[in-house]
Amino acid sequence: MNNVFRWTISLMVAFCVQTIHGSDSLMNVHLQNWTNPCQSNPCRAGKCELISKSEFTCHCSSYVHGRFCEKLNYAQQACESNPCYNRGLCSPVLAKESPTNSTFMCLCPPEYAGVSCEENLGECACQNNGTCYNTSNNGYKCSCPPMFNGSFCEYDYRNDTFCSLSPCKNNGTCILIEPPAGICLCQPGYVGDLCEKRVPFCEENPCRNNGTCVPLDGVDGQCLCAPGYSGRLCEHTQKTFCSLELCRNGSTCVVLNQTGDGFCLCPPDYAGPYCEYITPAACKKYCHTNQGKCALIDNKYGRCVCPKDVTGVYCDIPLHPCASNPCQNNGICVHEVVSQTYKCLCTYGYSGIECSENLHQSFCSSNPCMNNGTCLQSPTTADGLCRCEEGFSGKFCQEVIKCGEEQCQYPEEICLADSCVNVTGELYCLLHECQHGGKCDPIKRQCQCEKGFAGINCELNSLICDDKNNICQNNGTCLTIENRCACMNSFSGAYCEILIE
């Protein structure tokens, strides 16, 4: 049976819609009525290549595949995006075996060359003021002016783009991946090129990580997540209480339910959420060993505050002279065996018995970082560096990172294919993977980091305190260089949270 074709043209974009009853080609189109198939931008999120007068193929962007580059796939295989041009054959390879560290290799026809077979091996023939430049394979490529595309800059894209008229329905997000072609990212429960079709929530199997989709009233549904996962679509990795290994002093961790909640079962004389303290009775009875003092916290927990030369739960273990880290500003403590004392070897720029004297100003002393950048001081020299906020770069974060010709307003926008795209909170979290156990908050559009980590993606180890986040309690002072809290009299602890009686 012959193929039946229907061509639909709109102001947003022209799509080739084919009802297939046989082969997948366009050979039944009459040549007198033929127009360039790539002129209508049939590749939703990719580049269109004309391979004959009646056939085209789509080369998709990252994480997109399908005949028209219309499907998202975050677990994309190497050749699934059809990366090879000019009828080149794609072969998956291991990255370490590839000279370009890619996961595929293109086998090009004799008249083409390059990683993706995009380089021509003939005479230059760039159109529409395109610039011809030579390649390393003695071929050439065309550098096209804005809104022109194609191997020879033969396609004029100066008219409306796909996203210019906001085509995505039902709160779908339009992304202009390669102008003028775009794609609609649909909310769960909606499908179609423009997210125009309402389908049962479970029909598209939206639940990730082996979650089970349960239909509810009408077309709604809910994901029941497998153990260890959470979120509307089971997209978040969930840590259980016991997996965090918080229980101390030989206590036993007990899991309560499938949500991962739990508690620490303390041995005798120990107390606290993590059995990190001793009971008030044990504190008053044993802490005075070796001149220790009993510190009570809300009269519920106890802790022994020991002299400098001893340690242990009950101040019964002799302490190494360097155990209290007396050397400041990253100085190195050396144990003097004969005198049983210590000596500090100071880092560059510091002096004194405990390396507390600053001999000169450091890189961060003048607050050089611009645009809310964070200054990080070197521990061994007077140098430092600026950790820039998203959208800025340079030694002092003074350079604005452009997205094409725009400056994106992070985190409300992200840069995709030289265009600033306003994304939903859920899409922001899909594109920003939080590290070290952090969880992405789709409302705030930022990673909520675990204690001890910081940065846009929780990629950095954080200080106990800094100028913007002083968590020292009871009027304690944050010493940013030493990375500790200096406590008032009668208080102790990493955060000055313990009252000493």
Counting residues of the chain whose pLDDT is more than 70, the rounded percentage is 79
- Is the overall model pTM greater than 0.75, yes or no? no
Residue 180: cis peptide before it, omega within 30 degrees of 0: yes
Lowest mean pLDDT among 181-195, 219-233, 450-464: 450-464
Q: How many CB atoms lie within 10 A of CB 476?
A: 22
Counting residues of the chain whose pLDDT is more than 90, the rounded percentage is 4
Determine the Cα angle at 14 with ends 13 and 19, to 5°: 135
Residue 271 lies in a domain: yes
DSSP letters spanning 391-412: TEESTTS-EE--BTTB---TTT
Cβ atoms 436, 450 nearer than 8 A: yes
Residue 10 lies in a domain: no
Phi, psi of 37 (to 5 degrees): -60, -30
Residue 111 lies in a domain: no
- Token pair, residue 171, equals 């709160």
Model confidence at 19: pLDDT above 50: no
Q: How many CB atoms lie within 10 A of CB 496?
A: 21
- CA-CA distance, 85 to 107, in Å (whole number)? 10
| Contacts for 24 with CB less than 8 Å, ≥ 6 apart | 67
Looking at every residue in the chain, the average pLDDT score rounds to 75
Residue 91 lies in a domain: no
- Cα distances from 286 to residues 203, 266, 305, in angstroms, run 65, 18, 11
Cβ atoms 143, 150 nearer than 8 A: no
Cβ atoms 481, 358 nearer than 8 A: no
> Which residue pairs from 443-451 have beta carbons closer than 8 angstroms and sit at least 24 positions apart in sequence?
445/411, 445/412, 446/411
Model confidence at 452: pLDDT above 80: no
**Which helix (DSSP H) or strand (DSSP E) does residue 429 occupy?**
helix 425-431
| Strand pairing class (491-492; 484-486) | unpaired
3-class SS of residue 310: strand
- CA-CA distance, 203 to 207, in Å (whole number)? 11
pLDDT at 473: 79
> Which residue pairs from 171-174 have beta carbons closer than 8 angstroms and sit at least 24 positions apart in sequence?
171/195, 171/424, 173/421, 173/422, 173/423, 173/424, 173/427
Which residues span the domain enclosing 280?
242-311
CA dihedral sign, ordered 350, 398, 444, 210: negative
Residue recorded with tokens 């840069």: 415
Cβ atoms 302, 295 nearer than 8 A: yes
Task: Tell which wins on pLDDT, 228 or 399.
Answer: 399
Phi, psi of 71 (to 5 degrees): -120, 140
pLDDT at 378: 59
- CA-CA distance, 311 to 325, in Å (whole number)? 14
Residue recorded with tokens 């307003």: 409
Mean pLDDT, to the nearest integer, of 379-392? 70
- What CATH number is attached to the domain comprising 278? 2.10.25.10
- Cα distances from 367 to residues 385, 464, 467, 478, in angstroms, run 11, 20, 12, 18
Count, residues in the chain = 501
Residue 251 lies in a domain: yes
Model confidence at 9: pLDDT above 60: no
Residue 267 lies in a domain: yes
Q: Show the DSSP H helices in 311-384 as ranges.
A: none
- CA-CA distance, 18 to 24, in Å (whole number)? 9
Residue 411: cis peptide before it, omega within 30 degrees of 0: yes
Each residue of 64-117: pLDDT tens digit? 888 888 887 766 777 888 888 888 888 888 755 555 556 788 888 877 788 888
Phi, psi of 42 (to 5 degrees): -70, -20
pLDDT at 271: 92
Phi, psi of 297 (to 5 degrees): -115, 110
Residue 338 lies in a domain: no
Each residue of 161-199: pLDDT tens digit? 677 778 888 888 888 776 667 788 888 788 888 888 888
Residue 307 lies in a domain: yes
Cβ atoms 162, 175 nearer than 8 A: no
Q: How many CB atoms lie within 10 A of CB 347?
A: 17
pLDDT band for position 12 (cuts 50, 70, 90):
very low
Each residue of 253-271: pLDDT tens digit? 887 776 678 899 999 999 9
Phi, psi of 429 (to 5 degrees): -70, -30
| Range picked from 136-140, 146-150, 250-254, 497-501 for highest mean pLDDT | 250-254
Q: How many CB atoms lie within 10 A of CB 56?
A: 18
pLDDT band for position 5 (cuts 50, 70, 90):
very low
The candidate with the shortest Cα–Cα distance to 298, out of 160, 498, 141, is 498
Number of domains comprising the chain: 1
pLDDT at 34: 33
Each residue of 289-342: pLDDT tens digit? 778 889 888 888 999 998 877 788 888 887 777 877 889 888 888 877 667 788
